[in-house]
Every structure is written in structure tokens, then in C-alpha cells.
């Protein structure tokens, strides 16, 4: 075979590999994307939202979808809805739970509160969540204490007060 044929064969194999990876990625992600599209539509109708800006699947004790959107009055809202409606998480919790952003502590404010308490922490992620049937802000972060240790810290969503912290064992840390 000539060099030109080897190059053509290599290009075709490269394109085939990229296409296979793309198809596999879509196959793996399709159930998540379908669930997200369904929950966006259902929540938009049930909560009478004008728009949905973000939908996050949250897994801790139970699985929830947390939707961020704008209601009919033009106010930003957060909505918690249970992912598996056949298995109620808490009898006392009425879902979907709608909290206006104006009635809660903002993400930037919770970051400031956290940074005042732990200025040396490296924040990996801040997201709304649910802990013991209560809406919370979840902060996932690391600290260097001879070795890098990872933690989850929770703050009440409405007032930003501290709830609890979980330290990950070193063998489970990334």
C-alpha cells in the first residue's frame, strides 16, 4: 500500500472512532436527557413558569430534580420535585416545593458566608439540594490538611444557617 492509502485509512479509522464515541455518549446520556426534558415540561406546567433556566438531578438520601426558573410574575424561583414519585421521601414534605429566590439566600451570599468560615477551602461546587426533607445549599469543597481532604457542608436554603458537614474518607476522595 502507498502512503496515500495509509493516510486515507487512518483518517477513515479516526472518523469511525470519533463517531463510535459520539454514538456511545448519546446512548449513555439519553435516559438522563429524556428525564430532564420531561421534568422541565411537567414542572413548567405545574408551577406555571414562564421559563426554566436550569434543571439539576440531585441525589443524596433520595433523588430530586431541582428546577430554576421564572414564574408568571417575573420572579426567579427554585422548585424541588421528587424524581421517583412512586417512593415518597417524606410524608410531611409537600412536593413540588416552590421557593422564590427573594425568600432565600443567594448562591453568592452562601459562598461569602462559607468563605468567611473557611477561607482556605477550595470550593468545587455549590448547588441547591435537599437534606432530611429540608431545602439546603450543598457546598462540596476540599482543604489541604497534610493531604487533600474533601467535604460536603450544608446550609439552610432560606436563611443560610449552618446545618451539618460530612467528611469523605480519604480512600473515597477523588
> Per-residue pLDDT tens for 99-116?
999 999 999 999 999 999
65 contacts 57 by C-beta, under 8 angstroms:
yes
Cβ of 151: how many Cβ atoms within 10 Å?
A: 17
Look up residue 18 and give its DSSP letter.
H
What are the domain boundaries of the chain? 3-102, 107-172
Q: Are 83 and 142 in contact (CB under 8 A)?
A: no
Task: Decide: 72 and 50 in contact? Cβ < 8 Å.
Answer: yes
Percent of the chain at pLDDT exceeding 90: 59
* Model pLDDT, residue 89: 55
How would you class 141 by CB atoms within 10 Å of its CB: exposed for 0-12, middle for 13-18, buried for 19 or more? buried
Q: Span 107-172: which CATH code?
A: 3.10.450
Residue 172 pLDDT > 70 = no
3-102 CATH? 3.10.450.40
- pLDDT digits over 25-48, tens only? 999 999 888 888 888 888 888 888
| Tally of helices (H runs) and strands (E runs) in the chain | 2, 8
Please give the mean pLDDT across all residues of the chain.
88
Of the listed ranges 42-46, 66-70, 83-87, the least confidently predicted one is 83-87
Q: Do domains 3-102 and 107-172 have the same CATH topology?
A: yes
Amino acid at each position: 500500500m502507498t502512503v496515500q492509502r495509509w493516510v486515507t485509512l487512518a483518517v477513515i479509522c479516526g472518523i469511525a472512532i470519533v463517531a463510535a464515541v459520539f454514538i456511545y455518549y448519546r446512548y449513555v446520556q439519553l435516559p438522563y436527557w429524556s428525564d430532564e426534558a420531561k421534568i422541565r415540561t411537567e414542572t413548567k406546567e405545574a408551577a406555571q413558569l414562564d421559563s426554566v433556566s436550569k434543571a439539576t438531578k440531585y441525589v443524596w438520601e433520595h433523588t430530586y430534580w431541582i428546577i430554576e426558573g421564572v414564574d408568571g410574575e417575573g420572579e426567579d424561583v427554585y422548585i424541588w420535585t421528587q424524581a421517583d414519585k412512586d417512593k415518597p421521601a417524606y410524608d410531611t414534605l409537600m412536593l413540588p416545593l416552590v421557593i422564590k429566590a427573594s425568600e432565600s439566600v443567594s448562591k453568592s451570599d452562601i459562598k461569602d458566608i462559607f468563605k468567611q468560615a473557611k477561607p482556605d477551602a477550595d470550593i468545587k461546587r455549590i448547588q441547591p439540594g435537599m437534606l432530611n426533607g429540608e431545602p439546603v445549599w450543598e457546598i462540596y469543597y476540599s482543604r489541604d490538611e497534610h493531604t487533600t481532604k474533601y467535604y460536603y457542608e450544608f446550609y439552610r436554603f432560606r436563611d443560610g444557617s449552618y446545618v451539618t458537614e460530612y467528611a469523605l474518607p480519604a480512600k473515597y476522595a477523588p
